[in-house]
Chains A and B, each alone.
Chain A
Amino acid sequence: MSKFRIAVHITPRKGLLDPQGNAVKGALQTLGFKAVKDVHVGRYIIVEADAHDALAAEDAVSDMCNKLLANPVTEDFEIESAVPA
């Protein structure tokens, strides 16, 4: 077993109203960033865990996302490649 560091991006499901993202978008546009078309605000979670290899570490985090870290009804998640911690 070795220790891995796995990062996950959790974002509001596409198509669902994202009031937080809209508020930030509005603020950016007010600031003069007229090119901004869309903003989404999510969470970034870093998990450190023991696993046999990187793939097993990523699979474990995927399981964690399905069971707790992300809400299957309202959120999508994307797991970054596991790196040795």
Chain B
Amino acid sequence: MKRLALFALLLLLAVLALYPMRGTGYGVRFMLQLFMWIALAQSWNLISGLTGYVSFGHIAFFGMGAYTAGILIVKLGWPWLWASLAGGVGAVVLALVIGWPCLRLKGPYFAIAMLGLNEVLRVAVSYFEGLTGGGSGLSLPALYASVPIYYAMGVVALAVTGLAYVIVTSRFGLRLMTIREDEVAAEAMGIDTFRYKLYAFLLSAVGPGIVGGLAARDQSYIEPISVFPLIMTITMIVMVLFGGKGTIWGPVLGAVLLFTLQEMIWARFIYLHQLLFGAIIITVVLLMPRGILGVLQQKYHLPRTI
């Protein structure tokens, strides 16, 4: 069974690796965005799904990565791949600066603090016009690189999912879960909860930072409202809740299902789109708070490590 799953996974990866040779331009761009959403949802899962510390401003790391990469490309002429990796570094530095004070806050207060962070960053970026172009945005030199960006996004999505696998199957991951389960008891059992939360938080910022940089390159134009939108944070959260928080494949499943739905159906009903989204949130929270994989886990006694 395990070998079969591994074989299927490798086959899927091979198909995805070959896809740009046969796929249409639209198809490649669709997949590229799907990879981005997998990386974002999986990253949110690392901090919020495992430790229970809900980050309501996780897109701030995406925006940080986008602006770091954008500025490096425009002002210093960096190649986009290096600039995007630097975006990941920028996001981690931001996570360290923000996490140090904010992770001492308990649950709901942390969520609000993160929400505030995103709003503050958006305003700050608008303010420093000389560097960021302010409210009128930052235009990157024209470049058609959908296929290389497709691969880069795919590698990030795979790497973040691999990271989730390593964490969830380790005692490090179990300790992160003890914070979600009962932080007081975790402390009493010798777990330095602050340090563990900080590690998870830093790891959860890398992916969004890098894909933020890649998205900036892909779109060739960034502005404060396009890279710090609250709706993107909400989308990642819904993807994770829908697929199954705290699992390895739940965020992937949630991203695939919701992003596909969004592209296939909702795009034709612009106004219904948000209504449907709201309906899904309510349905998930009320009827299956553990998400699809969570329900399957309980019903069929599957291991946590799926």
Instruction: Answer yes or no: are A and B bound together in one complex.
Output: no
User: Hey, which bits of chain B sit against chain A, CB under 8 A?
Assistant: none
User: Hey, which bits of chain A sit against chain B, CB under 8 A?
Assistant: none
